Structure 1
């Protein structure tokens, strides 16, 4: 059992990674960077400005699907798994129905039952709180009734003051204030969550009452057709899209007994893809054209094509058209629309890193090769190790990540499917499996950088560049890095007469868990040599790999293979 715990400690030491990745590219006619400098600046594929926007050639694709061409149905997996919410559904996500207002805004219309305070001072001193009666009158002592029907709160002081001054023509100051608003009872019905009768004040918005009723039913209700009825007649029609898109919400005062009716959902279009608003949109009519949808879905500028799946009188259909052609396409209820950026970039963004002069970003055409780019990069030959150029590439990093993950999966399967012949062996298998799980869990967190080896012996491969490539030109160094399973990992000054064993001795020698037979030398260009012999070069890195106890651990071969993969991908093991 003691040995088993030591193995656990050994595995834990394998789990700290500085991540990058290597791949080797070859070319028929490699040449050095110094020779490329002679090509001058006459290459028209390169722009050494900061990132530039490429121009795309318009395609002329018809709506007919060609053999082997992806249909729009294949572009809409998300719509099959679950529908996105309706556009505007988040209107009712807040808790504003619990935040009561007094209803005394400037547009509030005075109604029977409202309380009004009236002050008179000067030649006459009089103060009283009055109630608007059923005939919409205020009865003021010594003045008489004042009709305030259809008078707004902002106009009440002026209307009452003018009437009082007909009695007290001078030497009397007047102030009138609306104190309280009379509650009203509004009925809410149609496609809402909780239809019924709700109390509020006349100036409350239709959104307040709808929220009190739980909001609009997203599966049945319409966000574009909300009606307010009074005495069985429609007095107001509200399109909530006007509020969501433009902030417009009609203001009016409810009266007791008004009805808010949410109509049934109208024609809907499901929108996914490269848009700012991926929702289910409701049309204000049974048929609409693509332009109407574009205004509210707001596709990104990079969109080039649109896929539409739906049903027509002659049966189901799917179509894939250029974006410009979609603008006049007739949409119908139930259509599913996918906005797609289906034109590959004609301009790539390439970054330069390391020891170089000039700009760090270049915009190149998609058919540009490395020689064309290197001819536009200036270097100081006294500082730059231009013969050790390498590329960091995303596609290589993804492939390296896949290979490591596959190795980890094989290791887990072999551990958990191994039979045990006794209870003691089963116990050991269990503890071993727990350690393997810890190892694989942390190993999966590796994020390779995708290093592509393109230089060897002063020759450079003329590889085709890809979007996002980073071209590294290492700086010259007088040091040799020593790491991994040594006592004191450190950087040492290069000595042309020293061997690998000398550098390891200067770093304190091997650690207890070092694998003396597995020593890696990594060159500045990313090339990896195992158990390398011969003289080292300035800038080299020495890695001493850890050892796995073959007597205790099953699957030693698989674990060792993963260690090698990680070492190559990381260039370091702590």
Structure 2
């Protein structure tokens, strides 16, 4: 029956692994034929061990296929070049601002045939009409005649039309003229964009609107710095989107029917990594540029001290490491990878003070400082601070305690799930045991170690070297003894120099039904945890006859492990003690 149970468990594990594999595939989304081919190539390459498999792997497809078969602009976070970094400015086209554009007219707009102009007259003559600019560039006002308005700036329309009206009606006629709407125009978008073609818009729409309609600049081939508006085959406006991204400068321009927006081919590219606010691929305006041109857009962090530059030159590959100040005048070329690095080690560390103290709670000391170098500068009230019981909470110790606890929990899990079963009844017992153990493991993993470093013993303090982030704890003197864990009434009891350990337990209501009344943990004020054995036959535990309870101690009665967990009782007991030592918590196994 044991073999049947093991075979059943093996089949269950295989099914779980298959299910995880299927879910991982579907969680990434449907695979296109191109992506499936990439995966097959990667598997073949891994088998041959001839190439780097990682070059076949991408975080997601370069283009997101739409239901109509077209492509949408590249999404944020997609891999679009060396190192998976997007070009600086690519996120300009991630939004949907083209659907939220305004119909307002900018001041530089010039009137064109088809525009609507509102004319209102009152006084001797009354008129309220919306007039359309005809093909000859005029609006016709009754009793006044045609008024030429073609190519008149939007801000001058009112003045030009009112001047014509007053040339006919010199007295007692007031006029108000306003340009209402502009005639839609058709603009061509060409060059390396996602969807080149012809797009309709208003003359006052920005160049970003038309580029967005075309899917945005192609991040692999297109330039964000060399965009030209052509009119009758002549360049009439130049755009550098880097100036808009960095400085907010976007020239105003009025488009006309038949204009062409031409996106240039991508220029030299440099990849920025490391300690920079903008880790992107940046386009240069020249084949050779200075480092200062790059730092202006990439904005290295204040802590950056050095720059690593790798790339190729006509005479071969280069790899240099220079201080940030020298990089400002360093020549960078197309294809370079620039890594901003913080290579200066701090010469000071910060230490926190907690507990009973007077004055600041943070101190900055030299990185090689020791505890006794700092203690003379910490002011305390001698009547309230227990300076003989100082201890430290240290992050590195906390992490190590967490690692040891996780290792013990993994060992416990392995012992439970690999335990043999010789009969159906024993298999059911093992299943129940596994369920209980898993609940215990889940609770144990939620325990947060304290990372205590015990320093004091019999009034002497170890002069250890301090570390960044250390918390020096100065306990508060107290006349109380805390009793916790598996007692009926966990509480604080007034210290009695004549009382024994068992007396304090009795004052807390005695042991609970789940208490391990043979072993008790005492957590001293200096952070040291001692386990005491009530049975005189103990080997490594101290006897309760040797216990000397002091004010500020915490008596912790640990839980008893249910004896029905035959296979794992030893491991669970060890973990309970480990948790009590690392986190001062009495973890129950039930």
TM bin, normalised by shorter chain, reads 0.7 to 0.9
Equivalent position of 1:448 in the other structure: 449
2:554 to 534, 541, 544: 541
Equivalent position of 2:86 in the other structure: 85
Distance 2:288 2:406 in 1: 50
Which stretch shows the higher mean deviation, 507-516 or 138-147? Answer: 138-147
Determine whether 1:555 maps to 2:571: no
Residues 497 and 535 in structure 1, CA contact (< 8 A), matched pair in contact too: no
Equivalent position of 1:232 in the other structure: 233
Instruction: Using the TM superposition, give the Cα deviation of residue 82 of structure 1 relative to its aligned residue in structure 2, in angstroms.
Output: 4.9
Determine whether 1:437 maps to 2:438: yes
* 2:109 counterpart SS class: coil
| CA gap 1:210/1:142 in 2 versus in 1, 3 angstroms | same
Residues 483 and 572 in structure 1, CA contact (< 8 A), matched pair in contact too: no
Distance 1:419 1:195 in 2: 68
| CA gap 1:511/1:219 in 2 versus in 1, 3 angstroms | farther
Write out per-residue CA displacement over residues 394-428 of structure 1, whole angstroms, 9 at most, x where no aligned residue.
11112212211222222223333334334443444
Instruction: Using the TM superposition, give the Cα deviation of residue 100 of structure 1 relative to its aligned residue in structure 2, in angstroms.
Output: 4.0
Q: TM-score, normalised by structure 2?
A: 0.80
| CA gap 1:158/1:328 in 2 versus in 1, 3 angstroms | same
Determine whether 1:197 maps to 2:210: no
Which stretch shows the higher mean deviation, 529-538 or 405-414? Answer: 405-414
Distance 1:336 1:554 in 2: 57
Equivalent position of 1:130 in the other structure: 131
Write out per-residue CA displacement over residues 442-470 of structure 1, whole angstroms, 9 at most, x where no aligned residue.
43333333211111110011111111211
Residues 115 and 132 in structure 1, CA contact (< 8 A), matched pair in contact too: yes
Equivalent position of 1:528 in the other structure: 529
Equivalent position of 1:571 in the other structure: 584
Equivalent position of 1:503 in the other structure: 504
How do 1:440-479 residues align onto structure 2 when only pairs under 5 Å count?
440-479=441-480
Q: CA RMSD in A?
A: 2.1
For structure 2, the residue ranges without an aligned partner over 5 or more in a row are: 1-76, 533-541
Equivalent position of 2:167 in the other structure: 166
Residues 387 and 458 in structure 1, CA contact (< 8 A), matched pair in contact too: yes
Distance 1:573 1:314 in 2: 69
| CA gap 1:364/1:104 in 2 versus in 1, 3 angstroms | same
Distance 2:560 2:164 in 1: 102
| CA gap 1:464/1:265 in 2 versus in 1, 3 angstroms | same
Write out per-residue CA displacement over residues 150-207 of structure 1, whole angstroms, 9 at most, x where no aligned residue.
2222221111111221121221101112122100111112222222211110000011
* 1:166 counterpart SS class: helix
| CA gap 1:507/1:448 in 2 versus in 1, 3 angstroms | same
How do 1:102-117 residues align onto structure 2 when only pairs under 5 Å count?
102-117=103-118
Number of equivalences:
497
Equivalent position of 2:419 in the other structure: 418
Residues 393 and 469 in structure 1, CA contact (< 8 A), matched pair in contact too: yes
| CA gap 1:283/1:136 in 2 versus in 1, 3 angstroms | same
For structure 1, the residue ranges without an aligned partner over 5 or more in a row are: 1-77
* 1:338 counterpart SS class: strand
Distance 2:414 2:386 in 1: 45
| CA gap 1:108/1:356 in 2 versus in 1, 3 angstroms | same
Residues 390 and 473 in structure 1, CA contact (< 8 A), matched pair in contact too: yes
Q: TM-score, normalised by structure 1?
A: 0.82
Distance 2:166 2:183 in 1: 28
* 1:119 counterpart SS class: strand
Which stretch shows the higher mean deviation, 518-527 or 99-108? Answer: 99-108
Instruction: Using the TM superposition, give the Cα deviation of residue 304 of structure 1 relative to its aligned residue in structure 2, in angstroms.
Output: 1.3
Higher relative contact order at CA 8 Å, sep ≥6: structure 1 or structure 2? 1
